[in-house]
Amino acid sequence: MKDFNYYAPTEVVFGEQSEEQVAHLIKKYGGTKVLVHYGGKSAERSGLLDKICDLLSKDGLAFVKLGGVVPNPRLSLAKKGIELCRHEGVDFILAVGGGSVIDSAKCIGYGVCMNEDVWNLYLGQAEAPKTMLPIAAVLTIPAAGSEMSEASVITNEDGDVKLGYSNNMSRPKFAIMNPRRTFTLPPYQTAAGVTDMMMHTMERYFTKDDDMDLTTDLAEAVLRRMKTAVFDVLKNPEDYRQRAQIMWGGSIAHNGLTGCGVQDDWATHQLEHELSGMFDVTHGAGLAAIWPSWARYVMHENLSRFVRFAVNVMDVPNDFSDPEGTAIKGIEATERFYHAIGMPINIRELIGREITDEEIREMTRKCSRNYTHTCGALKVLKAEDMEAIYKMARG
């Protein structure tokens, strides 16, 4: 079993009245001038943005607003945010939205306190910052888990390069989660979000280590619950109880709890980031397009784990005489699940056309950072493995 540190300092404020506490919480964590950061139109349309701004005004908290964050958030807007925060003397960033808004907020939070280009952090070319502006989130889409995670993922439009940077310092001080705010999510975003959170747990579940039984039990509970709740909310988007399962599931799936004591993998995420970097697709859908091919490529590294997944998560009967057959049935059942919730199972279904050899070579080059990096842990993937998986996922 691997030794581990479990660090999840974010204060979670969950429920229908949770937004009422926003000003009190910002003050509690030292904020006096706030950047309210948000995305396209959803937070405006629902009235959430106005409500948050009213609550800040009523409590005498000064704020400035910066909207326009797009899915796969762009470096250029984060740089605008950095300038705005410096100019306005902002000391606290409140992200109102999903993973893209929170990640953009984290990038701004780093950049304000740095004397060099914030992108250098994502390139791995800057020293870890010693300080940053505090971040908090009012979550509107459960998916990325950024509301409790240490990661942020940013796309540099110059070259369509999508890179992540992780630092515990960036874990939000608090996360306000009101499941009612997710009633307006379109089915595709709902399903892509659930796919993403399940994958955050699967990246930690498919490991060489079988030792931390409790972690494995927790992971299976999260996966099974998400797998059923998603059908309930697709059928009835206003099912508060099931929206709540999913909202909390998204945080648990990525706050480290389902990774304690195991060696996590993350190859599917690394491979996907090139897809969303190049084609600007929804991250969760990109994961669904890659995972079945990754699974078939690596399953012999720990066949018994794939059998366990098939039986305990995907409800496949265990054929003890044919573990490989059982494992493959588990992957096929996952593909049927993705289709049933409207997700793709290969790149053709994801982008609506066949990907070219040249595009696969380009994604391989980026994913391997010019053939200098590997990814994954269950099977360490070299550039030729990455290329082979992209080709298998072509569809």
Give contact residues for ligand NZQ (rule: CB under 6 A). 39-43, 71-73, 97-101, 103, 140-141, 143-146, 149, 151-153, 181-182, 184-185, 189, 193, 196, 254, 269, 283
How far is residue 193's CA from residue 35's CA, in Å, rounded to a whole number?
Answer: 26
In the complex, what is the shortest distance from the CB of residue 106 to ligand NZQ, in angstroms, rounded to a whole number? Answer: 7
Q: By C-beta, is 250 or 330 nearer to Zn ion?
A: 250
Torsion on CA atoms 97, 98, 104, 110, rounded to nearest 10 = 100
Q: Specify which residues 154 forms β-bridges with.
A: 163
Distance CA 142, CA 144 (A): 7
- If one counts every other C-beta atom within 10 angstroms of the C-beta of residue 377, the result is 19
Which option in ligand NZQ, Zn ion, none does residue 103 bind, with CB closer than 5 to 8 A by kind? Answer: ligand NZQ
In this structure, what is the dihedral angle of CA atoms 138, 52, 242, 262, given to the nearest 10 degrees? Answer: 10
Whole-number CA gyration radius for the chain: 20
**Residue 98 binding target from Zn ion, ligand NZQ, none, CB below 5 to 8 Å by type:** ligand NZQ
326 binds, among Zn ion, ligand NZQ, none (CB under 5 to 8 A by kind): none
Nearest approach, Cβ of residue 161 and ligand NZQ (Å): 13
The listed partner (Zn ion, ligand NZQ, none) that binds 42, CB under 5 to 8 Å by sort, is ligand NZQ
**Mode of pairing for the β-strands spanning 92-97 and 174-177:** unpaired
Residues whose CB is less than 8 angstroms from the CB of residue 309 and which lie 6 or more positions away in sequence, other chains included: 202, 205, 206, 327, 330
What minimum distance in Å lies between the beta carbon of 363 and ligand NZQ? 15
Region of 192-200, 320-328, 354-362, 367-375 interacting with Zn ion (CB under 5 A):
192-200
Within positions 341 to 360, which residues make up the interface with Zn ion, using CB under 5 A?
none
Q: Determine the residue type at 168.
A: N
Residue with Cβ nearer Zn ion (35 or 347) = 347
103 lies in the binding site for Zn ion (CB under 5 A): no
Question: From the CB of 200, what's the least distance to ligand NZQ, in Å?
Answer: 6
Q: Which does 184 bind (CB under 5 to 8 A by kind): ligand NZQ, Zn ion, none?
A: ligand NZQ
CA pair distance 144, 192, nearest whole angstrom: 10
Q: Give the shortest CB-105-to-Zn ion separation in angstroms.
A: 17
Could you say whether residue 196 binds Zn ion (CB under 5 A)? yes
In the complex with Zn ion, which residue's Cβ is closer, 196 or 264?
A: 196
- Please give the residue whose beta carbon sits closest to Zn ion in the complex: 196
Cite the beta strand spans of the chain per DSSP E.
Answer: 11-14, 33-38, 62-66, 92-97, 135-139, 151-156, 161-166, 174-177
Q: If contact means CB under 5 to 8 A according to the sort of partner, which of Zn ion, ligand NZQ, none does residue 259 touch? A: none
Q: How many CA atoms lie within 13 A of 336 on its CB side?
A: 10
**How many residues interact with Zn ion (rule CB under 5 A)?**
1
CB atoms within 10 A of CB 75: 22
In the complex with Zn ion, which residue's Cβ is closer, 143 or 328? 143
Q: What does the block give as tokens for 167?
A: 């630092």
Q: Which does 100 bind (CB under 5 to 8 A by kind): Zn ion, ligand NZQ, none?
A: ligand NZQ
Q: Compare residues 7 and 371 and give the one whose CB is closer to ligand NZQ.
A: 7
CA-to-CA distance for 91 and 112, rounded, in angstroms? 10
Binding site for Zn ion (CB under 5 A): 196
